[in-house]
C-alpha cells in the first residue's frame, strides 16, 4: 500500500514543519502537504471501508477523540483571530488525529507496528548524529546557543532551539530504554544511548530529568534490576547530600532557583493571573502571548508562546473543557501496562516544565505513539 509506505517515511518528515509558505491566504508547510498526501493515498486505496475499519479499531479511543475535537474546536471560536486559531486547530488536532485513524486501519499486525516504530527509532538516531556534529563544530546552531563549548554551547538538531530536540527525543528514548531492558533489542539500545547523548548535548534540564526519572522507574519495576535501581537511587542521594557542589546544583534546579527555573516561575505566575480572568474557556488557540501581555510585569524577560507547563498550556489554549477531554485521552492510554504508557509518562513529566504537545511535529508524534502503544495488533493478520 502506498499509504503504508508513506507512513513509514513520515517520522523523517516531521521536522519539515519549519519549511513554510502560503498558497493565497492559506499557510502550509512540507509536513502538512505530506500529511495531506498520506490521507489522500489512504482514501484512494481503502475508500470508506478504511474509514469504517479504522474508526472501529479505535474502540475505546472514539469518545475521548470526539471530545478532544469538539472542545478544542470551541477554542477556535473563543480566540479573537478565529482564522489563525483554525489553522492551529488543523495542525495540532485534526491532522494528527487523521494520522491516528490511518494507522488504526493500515497497520493491523505486529510486524507493521514494529516497522513503523523502527522508523521512529532511526529518526532519533539521525537527530543524535546531527546533534553530535553540531555540538562539535557549532555549525547550524542559532543564537544565542551558538557559543563556544566552554561557554555553554547547546545542540538543536534539525530544530531552531535546543528544547525542541529534547521534546521530540525524550518520549521515544524513554520507551526505547524500557524496550531494551525488557527485550534486549539492539536497535532500542542504540536508540536510547544516542538519544540520551542528544538530550545531554541539548543541555535540556527538563529532558535529562525526565529521562532519568523514567529510566529509574523502569529499572525499579523490573524484578531483575530492582536492587540495582535501589542501589543507584541510594548512591545518588548520598552523593548529592555529601558533595556540596552537587547538593547546591541539585537543589537550585529542583527549587527553580536557576535562571531557567526563575523564568518559569514568573511565566506561571503571570499565566495564573491571566487565567483567573479567563478561567473557563481559556483564551483560545494562539492567543496566550497577546492575552498575557496585560499581566506581564517582568519586562526583563520576553513573552513566550506558551506558559511552559502542560496544565497551564492546555488551560490557556482550550480551557477547562479541553483539559477534561485531554485528561480523558490520558486515562484511556494509561490503562495499559507500564511499558506501553512510558511515552505518555515522559510527555507528562517533561510537560511539567515545557510544551510537549502544541507544536506541529510533537502533536503528530503524540498520536503516532498513542496508536503504536495502545491499538491492538494481531499476529495473525497478514500484510495487505
User: pLDDT tens digits, residue range 17-60?
Assistant: 999 998 888 889 999 999 999 999 999 999 999 999 999 999 99
Per-residue pLDDT averaged across 355-364, rounded? 97
| Phi, psi values for residue 341, rounded to 5° | -100, 0
Percent share of the chain, pLDDT over 70: 98
The answer to whether residues 157 and 134 touch, using CB atoms and an 8 Å cutoff, is yes
Q: How many whole angstroms separate alpha carbon 338 and alpha carbon 220?
A: 12
Q: Is residue 324 in some structural domain?
A: yes
Domain extent, residue 213, equals 2-222+256-374
Quickly count: other Cβ atoms within 10 Å of residue 302's Cβ. 10
Q: Backbone phi, then psi, for 305, in 5-degree steps? A: -70, -30
pLDDT of 377 higher than 80: no
pTM for this prediction: 0.95
Contacts of 146 (CB under 8 A, 6+ apart): 138, 153
Q: Reduced to 3 states, what is the DSSP secondary structure of residue 25?
A: coil
Please report whether residue 379 resides in a domain: no
Neighbour tally for 82: CB within 10 Å: 15
- Whether residue 259 is predicted with pLDDT greater than 90 in this model: the reply is no
Residue 163 included in any domain: yes
Whether 241 is covered by a domain: the verdict is: no
Residue 381 belongs to some domain of the structure: no
Does 114 fall in a domain? yes
The predicted pLDDT at position 378 comes to: 67
The tally of domains found in the chain comes to 1
Which residues lie closer than 8 Å to 333 by C-beta, 6 or more apart? 340, 341, 344, 370, 373, 374
Q: Could you tell me if residue 239 is inside a domain? A: no
52 belongs to a structural domain: yes
Judged against a pLDDT cut of 90, whether residue 376 lies above it is answered with no
Alpha-carbon dihedral angle through residues 335, 337, 342, 347, given to the nearest 10 degrees: 0
Amino acid at each position: 500500500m502506498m499509504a503504508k509506505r508513506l507512513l513509514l517515511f513520515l517520522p523523517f518528515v516531521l521536522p519539515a514543519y519549519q519549511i513554510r509558505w502560503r498558497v493565497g491566504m492559506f499557510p502550509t508547510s512540507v509536513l502538512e502537504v505530506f500529511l495531506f498526501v498520506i490521507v489522500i493515498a489512504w482514501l484512494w486505496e481503502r475508500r470508506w471501508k478504511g474509514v469504517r475499519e479504522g474508526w472501529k479499531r479505535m474502540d475505546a479511543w472514539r469518545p475521548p477523540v470526539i471530545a478532544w475535537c469538539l472542545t478544542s474546536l470551541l477554542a477556535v471560536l473563543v480566540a479573537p483571530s478565529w482564522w489563525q486559531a483554525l489553522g492551529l486547530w488543523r495542525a495540532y488536532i485534526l491532522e494528527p488525529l487523521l494520522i491516528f485513524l490511518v494507522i488504526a486501519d493500515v497497520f493491523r499486525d505486529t510486524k507493521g507496528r514494529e516497522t513503523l516504530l523502527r522508523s521512529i527509532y532511526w529518526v532519533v538516531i539521525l537527530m543524535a548524529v546531527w546533534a553530535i556534529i553540531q555540538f562539535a563544530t557549532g555549525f547550524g546552531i542559532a543564537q544565542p546557543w551558538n557559543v563556544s563549548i566552554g561557554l555553554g554551547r547547546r545542540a538543536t538538531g534539525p530544530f531552531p532551539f535546543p528544547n525542541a530536540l529534547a521534546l521530540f527525543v525524550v518520549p521515544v528514548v524513554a520507551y526505547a530504554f524500557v524496550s531494551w531492558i525488557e527485550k534486549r533489542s539492539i536497535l532500542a539500545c542504540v536508540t536510547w544511548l544516542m538519544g540520551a547523548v542528544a538530550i545531554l548535548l541539548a543541555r535540556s534540564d527538563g529532558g535529562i530529568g525526565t529521562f532519568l526519572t523514567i529510566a529509574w522507574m523502569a529499572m525499579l519495576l523490573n524484578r531483575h534490576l530492582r536492587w540495582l535501581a535501589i542501589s543507584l537511587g541510594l548512591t545518588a542521594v548520598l552523593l548529592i547530600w555529601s558533595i556540596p557542589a552537587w547538593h547546591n546544583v541539585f537543589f537550585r534546579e529542583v527549587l527553580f532557583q536557576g535562571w531557567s527555573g526563575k523564568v518559569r516561575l514568573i511565566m506561571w505566575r503571570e499565566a495564573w493571573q491571566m487565567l483567573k480572568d479567563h478561567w473557563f474557556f481559556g483564551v483560545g488557540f494562539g492567543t496566550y502571548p497577546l492575552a498575557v501581555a496585560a499581566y506581564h510585569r517582568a519586562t526583563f524577560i520576553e513573552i513566550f508562546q506558551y506558559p511552559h507547563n502542560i496544565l497551564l498550556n492546555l488551560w490557556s489554549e482550550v480551557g477547562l473543557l479541553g483539559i477534561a477531554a485531554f485528561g480523558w485521552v490520558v486515562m484511556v492510554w494509561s490503562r495499559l501496562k507500564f511499558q506501553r504508557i512510558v511515552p505518555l509518562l515522559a510527555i507528562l513529566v517533561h510537560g511539567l516544565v515545557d510544551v510537549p504537545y502544541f507544536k506541529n511535529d510533537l502533536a503528530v508524534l503524540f498520536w503516532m505513539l498513542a496508536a503504536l502503544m495502545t491499538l491492538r495488533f494481531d499476529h495473525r493478520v497478514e500484510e495487505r
